[in-house]
Structure 1
Amino acid sequence: MPINLQTLGSKLSKYRDQLTQTLDEVADATGIEADRLGLIEQGATEPTGDEVLILADHYHCDFKFFIANEQSAPFEQTETLYRAHGREFSKQDRAAVQEFLYLCDTENFLMKELGKQSKPFGFSPSGTFYKGHGEAAAEAFRKAMGHSDRQVARDIYEEFRSVGVHVFRRKLGNSAISGLFVMHPTAGKCALVNFSEDVYRQRFSAAHEMAHAIFDSGSGPSVSYFKTQGLDMLEVRANRFASCYLMPPEFLHHLPSPSAWTEADAQHWANELRVSCDALGIALKEAKLVDQATSSRIRAFRVPREAKIDPELPLTLNETQRARKEALLERGLSDHYVALCFDAYGQSIISVGRLAEALLCSRGELSELARLYGRRLHGH
């Protein structure tokens, strides 16, 4: 079937508009002249195969999507997202979101090719008590993950991925945004957590987005803010899920009396739970274990940054390795995703060029990346 040039041009134009890029900016980035780009977008001329590949790489999209005549695409979700929250996303953040969706799609492809199956998890709420929905879903999910009532979840990202949610930590310039949830047309449930946040706040944000994946996947994309405005019951439900999943009430009821806690006690238990003192103070109040004054006192404490634990930045890394890996995490390259990429390469599912593309780097940078993750490239 011949390529429908009008459909192709429309797809390219929509991607460029969503990234708020001019024809000149795309020309500078791709080396394709602006006048020719304009003609391609108008459907007035057919791009070469190389031009399609270059533009697909620029927009972080599978080139097959551009040459297929179907319309369905991730930008239909982001179009809705930007229509409602466009002012919140800078040009850089829009590019970050597009890169995030590319990572989700690639991860989905790699998992299928490697034969990795996700566990089914579903939850059907009853009644209209939204906070109750969050509590019940957290309990059900904890049971599905094999946790006892008093057991604390550690690698929450791996748990969310195990049920088919593509979760990536990715730095956004707007620190007011904690995360977002998008239902990708091919990858499915996708959650972005703002890596600009405190490491423990990221955990809470990830759990919050997991709640949206459980309850709100049919409601379109959503943006979660560090401070919510007004009383949005979907956000209240997501916060309650996150709180009960990370700080199970049964665990809290077996702690030493919080009313007598010193600052060191509050920091200790917050660190044990991998949450902020702020989140812990709120959870203790919700569990009716402290009064408002004690809750406020605990919420005012801070876990020292150097005491916090990030599962993807272990203490075994030296200073140079830690800085490099943190920079990679800022772009969404989780240990889980990087391992999938190298596993697929090792099994000849993807080429070295596709490996570099998937890892958002040049071929020249691959060797360094392989060493950092203890991997080998063919012939090295």
Structure 2
Amino acid sequence: MSTRKRTATRYTVRTFEPDDRSVFLSLYESVFGHERNADWFRWKFSENPYVDHVPILVASEGGDPVGFRSFFAQEMRIGGVVRTAFQPCDTMVHPDHRGRGLFGRMNERAIERYTDGEPSFFFNFPNENSKPGNLAYGWREIGTVPAYYRPQNPISVLEDRIKAGPRRDVTDAQSSDDGPATTVTDTLEDAIATSQRAGDRLLVDSDSEFELEYYETPPADTLAAIYRRSIPEAIHSNRTAAFYRWRFDNPIHSYAAYVARRNGEPVAALVISTEDDHVRIVDALPRTVESESEPLNRLLASALDDCADRSYVEAFGKTLPAPLRFRFYPDTRLPLSALIKPTSRTLLARNLGDEIDLESSSIASWTFSRLDLDTT
């Protein structure tokens, strides 16, 4: 237990109460800049199937909430064992109450509440603001998981960068629907998209034995059946049909799936989520992606063809059999590391009791897709 000095004795830390929800949602919008509603809160916390309570600690002053330490409950598979884990998320303190030790006090209360019971451990990918606080209260750094990006439409990205610059009058004139620059831009975009498609087709065997299917709603039972074909030993979310149905019920995202069949049997799948200007590859099955690299590459080529009009495609962790082959570049290495601020995540873990020791694990002992993150 930490012996750090508490600098704000007038605050208390308590468990979440139903009346706290409206304050939580309001503070979330203020801190993170995204609006979330009651349906999202119910999905993520109240109706999460892996916990029997709302796993949120509240820092309050005179009974009024001023900070929250939240947890996203998940069922994790560790070899042949399944255990409940909590992923800390959505941690926030009102600006008027920061710098007074509330993050640490909420951490202490969470450790006290959940040690020697369920969950078995914490794991998360904290940002630079919360990472030191986690390390100070017993979390251990495991390793780095890269994000991968494939540029789809560099012309649009360039236009967005120009519009954000100071010469707005010039940009507006150049982007006029009736101007010649628009014709040039459209021509370049079409040429790039055509080149991308042609390159992708050269990477797959069009005469292969696989039948490809597209689903506007991911088929939970089919995805679970593919997952069971080859379950990795590495630590990951346990992908049952019930898990998929709940996970894809997230009200702030929409998901679609591509499935490959061999002789009528589903053998591989990709799940994607379409954002404003880009596409995320959310999950890839089987999770031992190398075991079915050919159908996964076929599915990837099909998905990339369908989203050729998006600016870029993003993947995370162990999702693609050969990322560089399809021009997915990690943000931890050149060229992207020199051009953009890396968004790779550092995995931290903390044991809760003696049942399982994950603090001494290596990053190779884990396998992630975006589906393992609370934000997707």
TM-score (norm: length of structure 1)? 0.27
Where relative contact order (Cα < 8 A, 6+ residues apart) is larger, the structure is 2
Normalized per residue, which structure has more helix? Answer: 1
